Structure 1
Amino acid sequence: MVPSLPPLKDNKKIYIICEGSEEYDYLNRLKMLDVWPDVYDITLRDAKGNGNLYPIYQDIYQKGNYDLVVIVCDTERKPHEQFNDICNKVNLFHDCKFACQHVVMFTNPCTMQVILLHWDTSVRLRTPSKRHSASYIEEYTGIKDYSAKEAQRTQLVSNITRDSYKTMMNGATELETDATLINSTNLHVFFSKLEQSDTNWIEEINNLI
């Protein structure tokens, strides 16, 4: 008698478009640490700049190969022109003025704000300048003169652990979720959804947009 094969997992396929290498390396590290259940099949892509985020989003979404397509980016400094442009284009694409709230994950002023919460939940960056965050990075990871070079990024994310992920998640709840405000993010909200084994939230988002 031929043994029956185990049922195939109906994993939800999620495509995450990262603004740049820091976002890509960070999310890839979390993916490698298995901080989220294996009901999700996550594909990451480095857009190599915020100007490429929306064109990639539109292309991947229209192909229909993924259950959810998400953008992860910075707001940068006020008046957040490029960030707002991305949000407006996403909203127009879906003909839904709130679509970006569900599929555009942001940090104001930059993703490094969230990354640093892994080691110190009191850190508040006032600018996306790497020179400004370099002193924090050296204090918590020993990396000197951080400028986002590949070797530095690799060393940076290697310091992230499953325990520090929990620290970051707790610290992120203290930040605002309004993109117009400094030190705000909704990235942890997305991560909280990814922590759920129940994947119905993906269908809920698709119904909303």
Structure 2
Amino acid sequence: MSPITVLAVDDNIVVRAGLVTLLETSDDIRVIGEAGDGVQAVEQTRKLRPDVVLLDVRMPVRDGVSTIEELASLTKVVMLTHTEAPEVVQTALLRGASGYLVHGHFTLDELTRALREVVHGNGNPLSPVAATALVSSLRSFPVPRGPVDPASLGLTPREAEVLAAIARGLSNAEIAAELFLSEKTVKNHINRIFRKLGVTSRAAAIARWNGHTAPGSG
């Protein structure tokens, strides 16, 4: 199996160097490029086509959050940052980040597992502090009236079942078991749902399902 390729994006060269050193201890992960700001991140992603971008939030020239939608249209994005503000966590996930990890709140094993989960479509990893921040931000989110009519989103009945399961927090494996499908079939359904809704993350899909318009989803 080919190694997971990573682009490390952080304006602090010491942080980048440490991250590269850590990741390259894993046999199945390879850092193929680095960038120091959002502009470089987009350029390098288009050039190198990594499987996943590890993206900082606060950077010069162009910050991480403003690049998420563009990067997420090209590959998977996992935020890797010191920033744990609730509104930043929520915005990052709604704009298409597949995970949010906060420095000092994960181990090397947890980081490499998160990369594998994201690349293989098996989860959306969050550091505990990021999960807490997300819950906090959602408390001020408009209360939905309930799931929208699936037909209004252009979803088939089966796709609606899958999206409802995602909204309940189920993983791909759990959805497969509940709906008597293979995980590959579940992934195919999720990819079609994302295309129909014009989103790139589960958080954004759930927002649409609950009647909200996620940033960047039209």
Short-chain TM bin: 0.3 to 0.5
> TM-score, length-normalised on structure 2?
0.38
> TM-score, length-normalised on structure 1?
0.39
